[in-house]
């Protein structure tokens, strides 16, 4: 039986204020419950306060002999670790093997020159010219990231190609230049036309 100075509540106070996964064990070493936190110290110590909508966990807290914690680099990594541990073995006081409410999503990138696209999908499907990145947890956060990426690095159609097979008018405009990398440059006038206008007045 732990002393007051080394009991689970006192050990919880010594946890870092970092994201991670925590486990409550009884005096026989069995895992009673596990969860994740953005701040391990704040989350774990809260079990010895007002549990609010977690009141059903009070008997579990009373049986806790020690607390273990694994520090993660981010809350996203902690979410994945929690999910993997729950799928491997569901402790008696955990309700769902998936942990939080986040859904697994993938980022879908179509590499087609005619119809390039980036999107968030729930399941990858094998398709030619398509690449998937993931999985990630949390569809809302991933969609925000994809939206920001699309604004910073918009996808460009190949020269002379538009969706539906329509020709790109810019490909016939001599004023439209393209850099060697394929990125679109600004619209400029031919040098001869520009030079002829210098110093010219009406009449």
Contacts of 104 (CB under 8 A, 6+ apart): 122, 134, 135, 136, 137
How many CB atoms within 10 Å of residue 99?
23
CATH code of the domain covering residue 42: 3.40.1440.10
109 and 78 part of one domain: no
13 and 61 part of one domain: yes
Structural domain containing residue 34: 8-88
Residue 96 is assigned to a structural domain of this protein: no
66 and 131 part of one domain: no
Residue 189 is assigned to a structural domain of this protein: yes
Q: What pLDDT does 2 receive?
A: 46
Q: Which residue has the higher pLDDT, 187 or 9?
A: 9
Residue 158 is assigned to a structural domain of this protein: no
Which of 41, 56, 88 marks a domain boundary?
88
pLDDT tens, residue by residue, 160-200: 445 454 554 444 444 434 444 443 333 333 333 333 333 43
Q: Classify residue 179 as left (phi > 0), alpha (psi -120 to 50) or beta.
A: beta
Residue 180 is assigned to a structural domain of this protein: yes
Residue 29 is assigned to a structural domain of this protein: yes
12 and 84 part of one domain: yes
Which of 33, 54, 88 marks a domain boundary?
88
124 and 175 part of one domain: no
Residue 94 is assigned to a structural domain of this protein: no
pTM, entire model:
0.58
141 and 176 part of one domain: no
Residue 192 is assigned to a structural domain of this protein: yes
Q: Is the pLDDT of residue 149 over 80?
A: no
How many domains is the chain built from?
3
83 and 48 part of one domain: yes
pLDDT tens, residue by residue, 64-83: 999 999 999 998 899 889 98
12 and 66 part of one domain: yes
């Amino acid at each position: 039986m732990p002393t007051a100075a080394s009991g689970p509540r006192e050990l919880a106070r010594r946890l870092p204020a970092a994201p991670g996964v925590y486990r409550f064990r009884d005096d026989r070493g069995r895992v009673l419950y596990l969860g994740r936190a953005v701040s391990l110290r704040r989350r774990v110590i809260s079990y010895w306060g007002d549990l609010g909508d977690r009141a059903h966990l009070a008997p579990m807290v009373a049986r806790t002999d020690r607390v273990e914690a694994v520090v993660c680099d981010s809350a996203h990594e902690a979410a994945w670790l929690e999910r993997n541990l729950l799928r491997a073995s569901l402790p008696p006081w955990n309700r769902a093997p998936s942990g939080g409410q986040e859904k697994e999503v993938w980022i879908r990138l179509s590499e087609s020159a005619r119809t390039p696209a980036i999107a968030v999908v729930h399941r990858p499907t094998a398709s030619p010219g398509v690449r998937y990145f993931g999985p990630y947890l949390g569809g809302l956060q991933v969609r925000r990231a994809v939206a920001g990426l699309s604004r910073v690095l918009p996808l460009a159609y190949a020269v002379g190609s538009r969706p539906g097979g329509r020709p790109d008018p810019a490909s016939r405009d001599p004023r439209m230049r393209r850099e060697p990398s394929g990125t679109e440059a600004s619209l400029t006038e031919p040098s001869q036309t520009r030079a002829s206008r210098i110093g010219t007045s009406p009449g």
